[in-house]
Amino acid sequence: MDLATIWFIAIAVLWTGYFILEGFDFGVGVLLPFIGRKNVDRRVMINAIGPVWDGNEVWVITAGGAMFAAFPAWYATLFSGFYLPLLLILVALIARGVAFEYRAKVDTDRWRAGWDQAIFWGSAVPAFLWGVAFANIVRGVPVDGDQILAAGLLHLLNPYALLGGLTTLSLFALHGAVFLSLKTGDPVRSAARRAALRISAVAVPAGAAFLIWTQLSHGKTWTWPVAVIAAAALVLGVLLALRGREGLSFTATAVSIGAASVLLFGVLFPNVLPSTIDPAYSLTVQNASSAPYTLTVMSWVAVVFLPVVLGYQAWTYWVFRKRVTREHIEPVPAYGGGGGTGSGTAPAAPTG
């Protein structure tokens, strides 16, 4: 196995970690207006992901940086052709991050409601568009002999890609609901369990359809077990949620997301961006990679720093492992009258 293949696997691992960890963050954001009917409950939901959401985003930054360094041709062609959806994702992530920090800056219901909408859309848009983007990568795009991708937004919104977007959106929402049932106390916990069951009515059939479509159209013999694991883990996660086995249910949904990601990268290899114009124009692990020297330097950097990053993130999850309840939320001071209707500035809680 050469370094180019190793780095393809490493990038697949980074994206898989991102989808699993940032997936429940997106899910919590999507569920914010539906589960958090009161401000105190919305604060419980935000505080549940508050210590980890920005650390989870490091995975996508690292994945993008690794793609740029290890496969510059893949990065350049992909980001130029997918410019609009990736720009929308970036804007949504920026708005979401600002919303987490600014939500508690002013003590008015109108102020908080506006930032809550930013959290919702900043979570829902990436959750949907990541599925659209990766479905198109697997399906193939019109890459010509000069490695130029000529695809407009409407070309990317094909039925397979839209199903991929629905799958990631519903699966992340389910993952987030299970996370909330694991990480919060009542009444958020009970509302999250009910939400998980309702979301499963969309996530299970959409996920199953997408896995079957992917496998039948692009799959290989060895990816069949991966598709089965993804589907089985999804169903098992729902059944465990029904029985109140929250820890196991969260593990199952994480396995389902991870297996689905492995399936996508598995059916893609050895291509990194298939061409629908001519297979000879496809970008592959070999023709899109950097020079061996660059890959060697990257490998040594990863060996040194990756354990540090993983250790720090694991420590963060361990420190903030306890449930968040209403009792942990301090009352919001009312400046100018009336418990959340004043116009002054409230002291800012770190997580909203």
Structure tokens at 267: 């059916």
Q: What is the mean pLDDT of residues 303-318?
A: 90
Q: What are the pLDDT digits (tens) for 72-131?
A: 999 999 888 888 899 999 999 999 999 999 998 888 889 999 999 999 999 999 999 999
Q: pTM of the full predicted structure?
A: 0.90
Q: What are the pLDDT digits (tens) for 1-42?
A: 799 999 999 999 999 999 999 999 999 999 999 998 888 999
pLDDT of residue 55: 87
pLDDT above 90 coverage of the chain, percent: 71
Select the more confidently predicted residue: 351 or 193.
193
Q: Where are the domains of the chain?
A: 3-328
Q: Name the least confident of 112-126, 128-142, 151-165, 190-204.
A: 151-165
Select the more confidently predicted residue: 153 or 341.
153
Q: What is the mean pLDDT of residues 185-208?
A: 94
How close are the terminal C-alpha atoms of the chain, in Å? Answer: 47
Tell me what the pLDDT averaged over the chain comes to: 89
Q: What is the mean pLDDT of residues 142-166?
A: 87
* pLDDT greater than 60 at residue 328: yes
Q: What are the pLDDT digits (tens) for 264-307?
A: 999 999 999 999 998 999 999 999 999 999 999 999 999 998 89
